[in-house]
Amino acid sequence: MENARIKAAVLWESVKAPVLADDSGLCVDSLNGGPGLYSARYGGGISQENKNRLLLEEVHSVLVRTPDSGGKNPRSCRFVCAMVLMLAPCRFFAVQETLEGALVETLEDARGGQGFGYDPVFIPQGYKNTLAELDPEEKNRISHRGRAAYALDKIIPLLYDNLV
């Protein structure tokens, strides 16, 4: 949330007008919430395919060392999106949404061409397809970013009604 607020503040300073900023990341339970805030920089300057490989290898390594998952899905994770609408430096509205899911087991299980980033290795809860296999309309409907934008969309008319 703090990164989204910082981004919004920098944008607001640049344009001196209302701005929208977000920060998103993939949080994997077996990696103690990582890569999270560092999702884009995870693995350094390697390709996204190698980031996906590294992520799955690290999860596998944790699962080998601690095979008892206590009945939980050992590959459980979520995409998190914090979104900030900044009207002025001291007046902003923030929302945070998630998309719960699980990672595929191996890079060979990655599939789909509709998404980017970690989408080919992420299976949303209640689905059999990866996020990268979903059509854009469905992905936007369930995604962390789509849900955050929808939540802010509910706030904006209330702001307008109070300003006029």
Catalytic positions:
23
Q: Is 161 exposed, middle or buried (0-12, 13-18, 19+ CB in 10 A)?
A: exposed
Q: Which residues pair with 86 in a beta bridge?
A: 19, 92
| Separation CA 28–CA 126 (nearest Å) | 17
Q: Helix (H, G, I), strand (E, B), or coil: what is residue 53?
A: helix
What is the DSSP code (8-state) at residue 97? E
In order, the DSSP letters of 98-144 are EEEEEE-SSGGG---SS--TTGGGEEETT-SS-GGGS-HHHHHHHSH
